[in-house]
């Protein structure tokens, strides 16, 4: 027995010892609670065992040999709130995932400033707003400009292209930027790049803004420098602000290679189409035309096919011969000729919508990141294939990025930033009022017939020639105004191909611990070929054109950086120089007189001598600059910059211009008196003043000759119409700012308020001069322009728990832009002479961007009421002023909500005020397409029915009290010349004919509220992926432009009003419809 007991006790001891000695492994993922992104380098620490691990680039960690038991796990990372949580280890492998919330009190501690210098946020005395790369790449948005909409206070994004694949976006910082209204400078990893807008205002095709060559999936952060004090170091191109883009990079240190892959598949459909009437067919009056068929001799009801308006017979099912019934061709697809068919006259309410396809965009991204003790690298490749909603339109982009750094020794490092982008497009949609360019969207909205069956238009090749709905008559089948839209998209073409490279190579040498010297060479270059042609057999003469453009910019830069602390005083300095060389050339050719061989698209096929033109320019700017910052006890900071430029575009005696800036910041919460205010986490006052110079494009000071088409074998040149000025000087912009940054409740609530005033002086203007001078214009320095405004950002995290996080941000910008002075003797300066008589002016003493008419009309008013004349139409006045196109204020709202592995984000932007002119509305009502042209009047009769007086006579207009009970006509209410109320029944077509010429009738408030994007995502749990090589997986659904919540008029998105030169956008007409997209995304990390 005793032996057995001993054996039993020994066995129990061994078992207990074994049990006590059991240990396991803890592994998991550390992620950001708001974005669900991994948190690299987070420290995961077992408090009781004094052991832990650092998370890798994918947020993954592993702690081995942890004895079974209960422990406190502490997780920390820079910029995040440290978390501790109890965890039990009771099996060989345990998964512990944890999400960290951002430490909002430290979130903005570091900002990127000029030349990519990272500075403590509290030391910056001017307004810099930063957003993460995740914020601009949440949804499938291929253009960095539109991705910024509503996310930064003071930024206004204009002209969202919607379905116009690869189309242009315009961006303005702080509204109107002087009389030239330029756009900000883009700088990527320290290299300035071009964001030239390759669209043509009003007509033609839109080839996009060049900033869209950036791969948004490879962006780490964006900083927006708004005022002169912030951007002065970048020189004359920074007068309108700077967009600093920092791309993602690898990190030095021994670490495994990580691979990130994503697929985004987005489907788009047209949205926000105009509202069309569906009660009346094509024609000029309510009666059918009687047509005699030459084959059977019978008479049929016909429409006026030649009319490209919808003011014809009522759509009531009456039998008639449609346009296609006069062609000996199969339009139904049944193999039989449809000649002679009669059909009932019915509406086609979706004929325009049915023309457009469901577009798609499929984007694949892959990034490989790695590093070693002295090397870091990241390679990112993106490919996108787009099928537009416009039939037969395609866009393909390939973007390759590489960032690498090599530490040669403790002091010497070399780095490279390389970006390549190729863009190939087929048949970008034509824009604006351009029937010659085949803009089908313009036809649908301005000149069309509402009964047309869009499917019948697909058959445009017939034995009688090219078929279209707009035939001249039943015996003359040639189109009068319009080809079939399917002829336009299939037989006409426009292709473009652009290769672009931008980036830099730099060498960094630490002369001593506090002194660093960097030499950098930056490059931005592209080659672009555009070719297009009109197919043979259409309404217009066939042709072919080709244009080749080449751009190159080189920046050679040497910069020294110094940083040192002397007790309570910190000193930081920067000095350097830059040489910028810029060159552009364009050569264009086009056929003349048609093509000698049908559909042979080659310059050699030109019937007459081809047209040829060329243009080239070169420019160089040499610069020196410096910056110094003094700080005291991390409380007070004073900053100063200076820069001098020498520009080859200015006269030799005036080519040097100097400008400077200074700023100060006071972190007042560092004073002891604020210790009692525990709710106030951080408070800073800032103030700044700065200047930025702005010169001009080349060849403005001396007369140069342009090259024209040869006359016979003799070359030709021409003298420009503008008189050059050898005494031009650089324009100067001065900015003064005051700001307040407050954060409460440990950063849970944050507010930033900024007031600024900008003064632009000595603007470079082109003024009209008498024709007797031999010129039409002269270039001078003149004008003073002042913009003042408020920028406010308010954010908060009302909910922050282990499972939930809710973060809300609102930004707001209100401003006023005034024209203080113009040139001597000049009261108004024309900024743009737009189509159809509406002009944009800068008027002395008034707000910038005044809409005026010249010879066209506005409404005459008495005591604010419109005057109605005795003919029942509006009384008019000439040379009317309508107000400014500038909005009163703009802003955005961003919401981010997460619950465990789920996340929801949404972005709204909005605008109050401003004006735009709608050519679509103007023409739609004139031609009878719009819903405003149909309905019933106050007597219950149709607008388009005859107008009858009480005696039964048909008249053009009648006072309502003198009208017959069955009278048609449109109610027009107003006052007479004496201010007495009057009401007429007026012929609707006459009414809208007047409004066609009365520009005021088609000028609308540009206010809007727009839901830009919504994203719903889910992170797959780590234990689901544990048996796979996938370390992290996220699936999400995007909704892009899902809803226009408010606009002053239907069928038009004010944020999509993109016509106007430069940064001006104030009229729309013939734009491709906007789109609504739904995207499905998968993100994988290995």
Q: What is the pLDDT of residues 30-63, one digit of tens each?
A: 887 766 678 877 888 888 777 888 787 778 888 9
Domain assignment present for residue 69? The answer is yes
- pLDDT band for 434, please (50, 70, 90 cuts): low
- pLDDT band for 1, please (50, 70, 90 cuts): very low
Question: What's the total number of domains in the chain?
Answer: 1
Res 322: pLDDT: 97
pLDDT at 112 over 70: no
For residue 482, what is the enclosing H or E element?
none
pLDDT at 365 over 50: yes
Tokens of 344: 């009932």
- In tens, the pLDDT along 89-111 reads 888 888 888 888 766 444 446 66
| Span of 198-207, 530-539, 732-741, 898-907 with lowest mean pLDDT | 198-207
What is the spatial distance between Cα 87 and Cα 69, in angstroms, rounded to a whole number?
8
In terms of Cβ atoms closer than 10 Å to its own Cβ (0-12, 13-18, 19+), residue 298 is exposed
For residue 925, what is the enclosing H or E element?
helix 919-926
Ordered alpha helix ranges (H), 422-554 = 440-446, 485-491
| Span of 173-182, 283-292, 1028-1037 with lowest mean pLDDT | 173-182
| Span of 311-325, 967-981, 1069-1083 with lowest mean pLDDT | 1069-1083
Average pLDDT rounded to a whole number, residues 68-89: 82
pLDDT at 194 over 80: yes
Residue predicted with more confidence, 500 or 179: 500
Residue predicted with more confidence, 951 or 167: 951
Domain assignment present for residue 37? The answer is yes
| Span of 251-265, 316-330, 774-788 with lowest mean pLDDT | 774-788
Average pLDDT rounded to a whole number, residues 579-597: 95
pTM across the whole model: 0.85
Tell me the percentage of the chain whose pLDDT exceeds 70: 91
Res 131: pLDDT: 86
Domain assignment present for residue 54? The answer is yes
Q: Name, of 154-158, 597-601, 673-677, the range with top average pLDDT.
A: 597-601
Domain assignment present for residue 45? The answer is yes
- Selection from 54, 69, 60 nearest residue 24 by Cα: 69
pLDDT at 818 over 50: yes
pLDDT at 18 over 60: no
Average pLDDT rounded to a whole number, residues 311-319: 96
- In tens, the pLDDT along 122-144 reads 777 778 888 888 888 888 888 88
What is the spatial distance between Cα 153 and Cα 226, in angstroms, rounded to a whole number?
10
pLDDT at 408 over 80: yes
Tokens of 592: 């003349």
Res 193: pLDDT: 94
Strand 606-632 vs strand 394-407: parallel, antiparallel, or unpaired? unpaired
Res 801: pLDDT: 86
Res 831: pLDDT: 83
Tokens of 1: 């027995």
Domain assignment present for residue 774? The answer is no
Res 823: pLDDT: 84
Average pLDDT taken over every residue of the chain: 87
Res 341: pLDDT: 96
Residue predicted with more confidence, 915 or 442: 915
For residue 151, what is the enclosing H or E element?
none
- Selection from 239, 12, 246, 209 nearest residue 117 by Cα: 246
pLDDT at 12 over 50: no
Contact (CB, 8 A) for 1004 and 915: yes
Tokens of 490: 């299939």
Domain assignment present for residue 83? The answer is yes
Res 282: pLDDT: 96
Res 1046: pLDDT: 94
Res 59: pLDDT: 81
Print burial letters for 63-96: b (CB count within 10 Å at least 16), e (below 16): beebebeebebebbbebbbebeeebebeeeebeb
Question: In the chain, helix, strand, coil percent, each to 5?
Answer: 10, 50, 35
Res 51: pLDDT: 80
Sign of CA dihedral 264, 392, 431, 453: negative
83: containing domain: 22-100
513 phi/psi in degrees, rounded to 5? -60, -30
pLDDT at 439 over 80: no
pLDDT at 307 over 90: yes
Res 2: pLDDT: 43
End-to-end Cα spacing for the chain? 61
Q: Name, of 76-80, 263-267, 656-660, the range with top average pLDDT.
A: 263-267
Average pLDDT rounded to a whole number, residues 72-98: 83
- In tens, the pLDDT along 847-883 reads 988 888 766 578 889 998 999 998 899 888 877 788 9
For 244, the 3-state DSSP assignment is strand
Res 437: pLDDT: 60
The DSSP string of 575-628 is EEEEEEEEEEEEEEEEEEEEESSTT--SGGGEEEEEEEEEEEEEEEEEEEEEEE
Res 120: pLDDT: 73
pLDDT at 1055 over 70: yes
Domain assignment present for residue 1010? The answer is no
Res 715: pLDDT: 73
Average pLDDT rounded to a whole number, residues 6-14: 38
| CATH number for position 29 | 2.60.40.10
Res 594: pLDDT: 94
Domain assignment present for residue 621? The answer is no
Average pLDDT rounded to a whole number, residues 398-410: 94
- Selection from 1008, 1078, 1016, 1004 nearest residue 1042 by Cα: 1078
Beta bridge partners of 950: none
- In tens, the pLDDT along 617-675 reads 999 999 999 999 999 998 999 999 999 999 998 888 888 989 899 999 999 998 888 88
């Amino acid at each position: 027995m005793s032996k057995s007991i001993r054996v039993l006790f020994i066995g129990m001891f061994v078992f207990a010892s074994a049990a006590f000695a059991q240990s396991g492994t803890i592994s998991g993922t550390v992620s950001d609670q708001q974005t669900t992104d991994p948190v690299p380098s987070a420290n995961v620490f077992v408090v009781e065992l004094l052991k832990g691990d650092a998370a890798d680039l994918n947020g993954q960690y592993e702690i081995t040999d942890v004895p079974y038991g209960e422990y406190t796990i502490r997780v920390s990372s820079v910029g995040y709130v440290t978390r501790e949580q109890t965890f039990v280890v009771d099996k060989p492998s345990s998964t512990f995932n944890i999400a960290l919330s951002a430490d909002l009190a430290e979130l903005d501690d570091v900002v990127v400033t000029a030349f990519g210098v990272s500075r403590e946020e509290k030391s910056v005395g001017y307004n810099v707003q930063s957003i993460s790369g995740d914020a601009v790449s949440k949804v499938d948005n291929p253009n960095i400009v539109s991705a910024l909409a509503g996310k930064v206070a003071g930024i206004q994004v204009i002209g969202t292209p919607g379905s116009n694949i690869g189309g242009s976006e315009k961006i303005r910082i702080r509204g109107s930027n002087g009389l030239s209204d330029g756009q900000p400078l883009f700088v990527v990893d320290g290299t300035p790049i071009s964001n030239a807008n390759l669209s043509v205002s009003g007509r033609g095709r839109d080839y996009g803004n060049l900033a869209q060559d950036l791969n948004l999936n490879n962006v780490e952060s964006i900083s927006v420098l708004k005022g002169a004090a912030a951007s002065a170091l970048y020189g004359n191109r920074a007068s309108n602000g700077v967009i600093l883009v920092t791309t993602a990079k690898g990190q030095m240190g021994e670490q495994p290679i990580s691979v990130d892959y994503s697929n985004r598949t987005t489907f788009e459909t047209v949205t926000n189409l105009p509202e069309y009437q569906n009660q009346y067919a094509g024609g000029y009056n309510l009666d059918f035309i009687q047509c005699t068929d030459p084959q059977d001799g019978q008479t049929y009801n016909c429409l006026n096919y030649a009319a490209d308006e919808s003011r014809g017979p009522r759509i009531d099912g009456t039998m008639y011969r449609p346009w296609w019934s006069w062609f000996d061709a199969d339009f139904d697809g049944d193999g039989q000729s449809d000649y002679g068919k009669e059909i009932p006259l019915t509406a086609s309410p979706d004929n325009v919508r049915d023309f457009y396809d469901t577009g798609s965009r499929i984007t694949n991204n892959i990034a490989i990141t790695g590093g070693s003790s002295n090397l870091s690298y990241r390679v990112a490749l993106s490919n996108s294939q787009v099928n537009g909603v416009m039939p037969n339109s395609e866009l393909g982009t390939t973007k390759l990025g590489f960032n690498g750094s090599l530490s040669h020794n403790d002091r010497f490092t070399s780095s490279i930033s390389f970006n390549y982008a190729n863009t190939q497009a087929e048949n970008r949609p034509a824009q604006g009022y351009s029937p010659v360019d085949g803009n089908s969207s313009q036809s649908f909205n301005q000149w069309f017939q509402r009964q047309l069956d869009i499917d019948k238009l697909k058959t445009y090749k017939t034995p009688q020639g090219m078929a279209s709905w707009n035939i001249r008559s039943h015996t003359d089948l040639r189109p009068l105004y319009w080809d079939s839209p399917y002829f336009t998209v299939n037989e006409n073409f426009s292709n473009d191909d652009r290769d672009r490279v931008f980036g830099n190579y730099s060498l960094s040498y630490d002369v001593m611990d506090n002194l660093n010297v960097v030499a950098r060479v930056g490059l931005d270059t592209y080659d672009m070929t555009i070719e297009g042609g009109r197919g043979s057999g259409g309404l217009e003469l066939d042709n072919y054109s080709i244009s080749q453009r080449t751009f190159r910019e080189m920046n050679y830069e040497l910069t020294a950086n110094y940083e040192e602390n002397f007790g309570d005083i910190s000193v930081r300095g920067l000095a350097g120089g830059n040489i910028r060389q810029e060159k552009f050339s364009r050569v264009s050719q086009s056929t003349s007189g048609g093509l000698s061989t049908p559909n042979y698209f080659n310059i050699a096929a030109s019937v007459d001598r081809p047209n040829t033109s060329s243009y080239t320019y070169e420019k160089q700017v040499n610069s020196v600059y410096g910056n110094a910052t003094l700080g005291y006890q991390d409380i007070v900071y004073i900053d100063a910059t200076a820069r001098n430029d020498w520009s080859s575009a200015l006269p030799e005696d005036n080519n040097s211009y100097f400008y400077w800036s200074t700023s100060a910041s006071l972190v007042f919460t560092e004073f002891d008196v604020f210790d009692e205010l525990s709710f106030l986490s951080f408070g800073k006052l800032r103030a700044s003043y700065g200047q930025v110079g702005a010169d001009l494009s080349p060849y403005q000071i001396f007369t140069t000759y342009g090259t024209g088409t040869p006359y016979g074998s003799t070359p030709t040149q021409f003298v420009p119409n503008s008189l050059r000025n050898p005494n031009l000087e650089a324009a100067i912009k001065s900015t003064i700012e005051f700001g307040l940054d407050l954060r409460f409740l440990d950063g849970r609530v944050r507010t930033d308020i900024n007031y600024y005033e900008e003064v632009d002086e000595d603007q470079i203007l082109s003024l009209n001069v008498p024709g007797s001078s031999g010129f039409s214009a002269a270039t001078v320095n003149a004008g003073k322009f002042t913009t003042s405004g408020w920028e406010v950002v308010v954010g908060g995290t009302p909910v922050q728990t282990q499972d939930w996080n809710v973060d809300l941000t609102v930004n707001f910008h209100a401003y006023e832009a005034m024209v203080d002075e113009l040139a001597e003797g000049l009261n108004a300066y024309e900024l743009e002479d737009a189509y159809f008589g509406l002009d944009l002016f800068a008027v002395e003493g008034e707000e910038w961007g005044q809409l005026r008419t010249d010879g066209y009309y506005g409404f005459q008013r008495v005591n604010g009421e419109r005057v109605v004349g005795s003919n029942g139409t509006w009384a008019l006045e000439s040379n009317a002023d309508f107000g400014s196109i500038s909005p009163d204020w703009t802003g955005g709202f961003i919401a981010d909500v997460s619950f465990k592995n789920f996340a929801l984000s949404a972005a709204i932007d909005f605008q109050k005020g401003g004006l735009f002119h709608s050519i679509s509305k103007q023409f739609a009502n004139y031609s009878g397409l719009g819903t405003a042209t149909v309905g019933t009047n106050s007597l219950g009769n149709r607008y388009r029915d005859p107008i009858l007086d009480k005696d039964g006579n048909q008249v053009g207009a009648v006072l309502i009290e003198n009208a017959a009970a069955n009278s048609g006509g449109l109610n027009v209410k107003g006052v007479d010349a004496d201010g007495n109320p009057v009401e007429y029944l007026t012929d609707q077509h006459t009414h809208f004919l007047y409004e066609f010429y009365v520009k005021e009738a088609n000028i609308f408030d540009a206010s809007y509220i727009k839901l830009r994007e919504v994203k719903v995502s889910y992170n797959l749990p780590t234990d689901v992926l544990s048996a796979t090589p996938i370390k992290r997986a996220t699936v999400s659904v995007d909704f892009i432009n899902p809803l226009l919540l408010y606009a002053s008029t239907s069928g038009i998105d004010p944020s999509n009003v993109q016509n106007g030169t430069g940064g001006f956008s104030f009229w729309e007409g013939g734009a491709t419809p906007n789109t609504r997209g739904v995207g499905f995304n998968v993100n994988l990390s290995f």
